[in-house]
Amino acid sequence: MKNPDRKAWLLGGDALCSNPPDPPPGPSWRLVLLGAPGVGKGTQAELLCERLGACHLSTGDILRNAKCEGTRKLTPALEAALSSMRQGALVSDETMLELVGERGRCLRCCGGFVLDGFPRTVAQAEALDALLKREGVGLDLVFDYELPTKEIVARLSGRRLCPECKAVYHLTHQPPEKAGICDVCGGRLIRREDDRPETILTRMRVYEENTRPLLEWYGRQGLLVRVPAHGTPDEIYARGWTCGRSMENGRTPPSGKAGRGSTAGGAALAPPARPS
Ligand code: AP5
């Protein structure tokens, strides 16, 4: 499936995507990804979007993109947001809700969406519920990826990012073909400012205090799928749908999509079947 350019999400305002997704043959998927910093949410979001035809809505990418967009003057709120980000702290709910609120139409994207990095607090989850209601759509599933801290730190320490196209690499697990150069666009890879060891620890603490309560929040709504995040990205992708399938024992997910998810092993690359 083609990769949407995400201009409407990254730039906000009146920006339009130049290659919006094609309407999928069946209903689109609307997912939220939770998990500690560096657990692999962005990597899974890319796989999910590629295979489901959905759009990757990352709030971290909005902020990093604002920094890269040298032509536009940053507002004081965005300056403060980037400073919080550098320190590993959360950006204020007020700023995040303004950024996401003005991009509300992306929640109606015909390809569906994978929200990565939002919501991160209970106040943001409440606001998202209201926003989804306003846009007339609902969530299908919330995947929570879990991994021991030691492994997460190893993933973050080796991460490299393309500032141009946002592709993510890892020095040993997912190296680019040519060292330091993006396979997709030829950009020069960088290390994220918030991937320094001391900032990583702050981010982990902030996650425990502010974001972990969302597991209970979405658990109560019957949307939460807990996914052990060890193994290769493909294995984790397949495991997500397998874990989602077990939800049928409790509550049938909206439109019953999870129950028809792919299983581990040979079906790892296949997206879940869509209801006819
Ligand atoms: P954000 O950009 O959302 O970052 P994060 O949640 O901290 O998550 P990361 O992007 O660091 O990691 P990831 O889980 O996506 O892992 P990845 O796939 O890259 O937010 C950054 C900051 O912005 C926040 O700290 C905050 O300041 C601010 N912010 C954003 N949203 C906000 C909000 N809603 N409210 C307030 N503040 C907000 O993988 C990591 C590495 O591991 C990569 O190198 C990858 O190649 C590798 N890898 C992935 N999967 C595997 C695997 N299976 N095996 C081996 N290696 C793997």
Residue 268 is assigned to a structural domain of this protein = no
The token duo for 126 is 């409440």
Q: The CATH number of the domain where 50 resides is what?
A: 3.40.50.300
The token duo for 209 is 């205090």
As for how many domains the chain has, the answer is: 1
Question: Looking at 7-16, 71-80, 108-117, 163-172, which range is the least confident one?
Answer: 71-80
User: Is the pLDDT higher at 185 or at 68?
Assistant: 185
The residues annotated with a catalytic role in the active site are 41, 120, 159, 192, 203
| Predicted local confidence at residue 22, as pLDDT | 76
Does the pLDDT of residue 271 top 90, yes or no? no
**How far is the centre of ligand 1, averaged over its atoms, from the C-alpha of 191 (Å)?**
12
Residue 13 is assigned to a structural domain of this protein = no
Contact 93, 123 (CB under 8 A): yes
The minimum-distance atom of ligand 1 relative to the CA of 87 is 27
Contact 187, 162 (CB under 8 A): yes
Residue 116 is assigned to a structural domain of this protein = yes
Does the pLDDT of residue 74 top 90, yes or no? no
| Predicted local confidence at residue 66, as pLDDT | 86
Q: Which residue, by CA, sits nearest to atom 39 of ligand 1? A: 40
Residue 10 is assigned to a structural domain of this protein = no
DSSP 239-268: HHHHHHHGGGGT-PPGGG-GGG---SGGGT
What does pLDDT average to over the chain? 86
Dist. CA 167–CA 43, nearest whole Å: 9
The token duo for 202 is 């702050």
Does the pLDDT of residue 252 top 90, yes or no? no
| Predicted local confidence at residue 255, as pLDDT | 44
Which residue among 9, 59, 210 has the greatest number of ligand 1 atoms within 8 angstroms of its CB, and so is best to mutate?
59
The minimum-distance atom of ligand 1 relative to the CA of 58 is 3
Is the CB of residue 240 below 6 angstroms from any atom belonging to ligand 1? no
Residue 12 is assigned to a structural domain of this protein = no
Residue 41 is assigned to a structural domain of this protein = yes
Which residue among 50, 91, 124, 202 has the greatest number of ligand 1 atoms within 8 angstroms of its CB, and so is best to mutate?
91
| Predicted local confidence at residue 65, as pLDDT | 87
**How far is the centre of ligand 1, averaged over its atoms, from the C-alpha of 156 (Å)?**
8
Tens of pLDDT, residue by residue over 121-170, are 999 999 999 999 999 999 999 999 999 999 999 999 999 999 888 889 99
Q: How many residues does the chain have?
A: 276
Is the CB of residue 143 below 6 angstroms from any atom belonging to ligand 1? no
Dist. CA 16–CA 106, nearest whole Å: 10
Tens of pLDDT, residue by residue over 168-196, are 999 999 999 999 999 999 999 999 989 99
Assign 36 to helix, strand or coil.
coil
Does the pLDDT of residue 1 top 70, yes or no? no
CA angle 164, 76, 70 (to 5 degrees): 25
Q: Which residues are paired to 226 by β-bridges?
A: 144
53-to-110, 159, 186 alpha-carbon distances in Å:
9, 25, 24
Is the CB of residue 262 below 6 angstroms from any atom belonging to ligand 1? no
Provide the pLDDT confidence category of residue 81 given band limits of 50, 70 and 90.
Answer: very high
Does the pLDDT of residue 250 top 80, yes or no? no
Provide the pLDDT confidence category of residue 264 given band limits of 50, 70 and 90.
Answer: very low
Residue 20 is assigned to a structural domain of this protein = no
**How far is the centre of ligand 1, averaged over its atoms, from the C-alpha of 38 (Å)?**
4
Is the CB of residue 159 below 6 angstroms from any atom belonging to ligand 1? yes
Tens of pLDDT, residue by residue over 101-123, are 999 999 999 889 999 999 999 99
| Predicted local confidence at residue 256, as pLDDT | 41
> What percent of the chain has a predicted confidence (pLDDT) above 70?
86
Provide the pLDDT confidence category of residue 247 given band limits of 50, 70 and 90.
Answer: low
| Predicted local confidence at residue 257, as pLDDT | 52
Is the CB of residue 157 below 6 angstroms from any atom belonging to ligand 1? no
What b/e readout covers 96-105, taking b as 16+ CB neighbours within 10 angstroms?
bbbbbeebee
Structural domain for 162, as ranges: 28-239
Residue 21 is assigned to a structural domain of this protein = no
129-to-10, 42, 65, 241 alpha-carbon distances in Å:
21, 22, 26, 23
Which residue among 65, 99, 170, 214 has the greatest number of ligand 1 atoms within 8 angstroms of its CB, and so is best to mutate?
170
